[in-house]
Amino acid sequence: MTQDALRQWRRDLHRLPEAAWCEFRTSSLIAHHLSELGFSVMLGDKLLASNLIMGREVDVQAQKERALRQGAHPDWLTRIKEITGVMGVWDSGRPGPTLAFRFDIDAVEVDESQDELHPPSQEGWQSRNAGWMHACAHDGHTAIGLVLAERIAAQAEQLNGRIKLFFQPAEEGCRGGKALAAGGQLDDVDALLALHIGIHANSGELVVNPTEFLCSTKFDVEFMGRAVHAGLEPNAGSNALAAACTATTAMLGIARHRDGMTRINVGQLSGGSGRNVIPGHARLQGETRGATPALNDYMFGQVQQIVEGAAMMQGATYLIRKQGEAIGIENSPALLEEIVPLAQALKLETIHTRRFGASEDAGFLIERVQRNGGQAAYLILGANLAAPHHHPEFDFDEAVLEHGVALLESWLLSRLGA
């Protein structure tokens, strides 16, 4: 029954993916399910620190209307104001520690493959929202969290202490973690676990201490120039697109740092209004990454200098907006000592260290718990993949979902069992 429930949740969420900060259907279903099980529910508007929310440009009304058409729970959808995300709290009423789990819920800007050999397409549960796909297994993460909630409710009399389940919006682009961490609900947590399906690990494996999480800054730059007729008086204009192109070329040429790995990417560039008009506006979207906060700060500092110089060259002005951030992750060693024997008892092959090599805003949650004296860890639940993460043909071995529930359940029982 557990596997059936996991598959049902995963495929329902996969069929109707929602972008970062647009997870209204997903949040409403999560909130309803947790409430029905007896959890206390807190929604995103009260859960996240609104002043730290990044990269949120959402037509809330339009997204809610679509969510309702696609099966959102109407009562809970009404209760969600502007911000998505859900926390469920199970309080046993008996003394004990507070444990927490984090599950990310948003989708990726990827058009899912329609190839008949792609299992979701073949079996009829491929994405119905064009341009968006659960291509990073967040549908699986959410399914694990929802079925874990069922297991908690079923064993209520055996538990002490409290359990917090965090269903985080906007992990893609590293936009939601910092605001969730600052919201205050992690400050009483004694131990936190987060996990990710599939990265550099196969079905039956568990990476207990992934390393090399990259610090990152996601940014948008707007250049504001002066639009004029390109033939009559080009000298009177200020070419915003030329400034953006100059900046892009210079950013890609930033000298890499001797002290460690650094990255830069400009993923989107747009501007102008017509072939005979000097472009008065242009926008680029990019990101920096570094092996340490200092290395990432070096890269982003170079970006800021380049943007200022490129704007000056064209007589334009500019605005830089941070749209997301990530920091590194260091797991609590004592917590890993608990996890390894539990995983081995479940016949999972434990791998101590493996390179992560990407960015994850769960770092802010882990740092918050650790700074308050708690323990926290990020695990990789291995899964055989049909294609890499963020690929149109991404799919994972659904059998691992049950492994994920079993591992998290066995850990909480070891800590909270009566």
- Asked if residue 193 has pLDDT above 80, the reply is yes
Residue holding tokens 């647009």? 22
How much of the chain exceeds pLDDT 70, in percent? 100
Q: Is 31 left (phi over 0), alpha (psi -120 to 50) or beta?
A: alpha
Closest CA to 140 of 336, 380, 412: 380
Distance CA 126, CA 137 (A): 13
Distance CA 250, CA 245 (A): 9
Distance CA 127, CA 68 (A): 17
Rounded to 5 degrees, what are φ and ψ at 322? -75, 130
Q: In what order do the strands lie in the sheet with 349-351?
A: 40-43, 86-91, 162-168, 98-104, 191-197, 375-381, 205-207, 349-351
Distance CA 117, CA 340 (A): 37
Interval 274-322: pLDDT, tens: 999 999 999 999 999 999 999 999 999 999 999 999 999 999 999 999 9
CA distances from 7 to 1, 240, 390 (A): 10, 49, 20
Distance CA 39, CA 90 (A): 5
What mean pLDDT value characterizes the chain? 96
pTM equals 0.94
Distance CA 46, CA 322 (A): 23
Arithmetic mean of pLDDT, 346-355: 94
SS3 call for 205 = strand
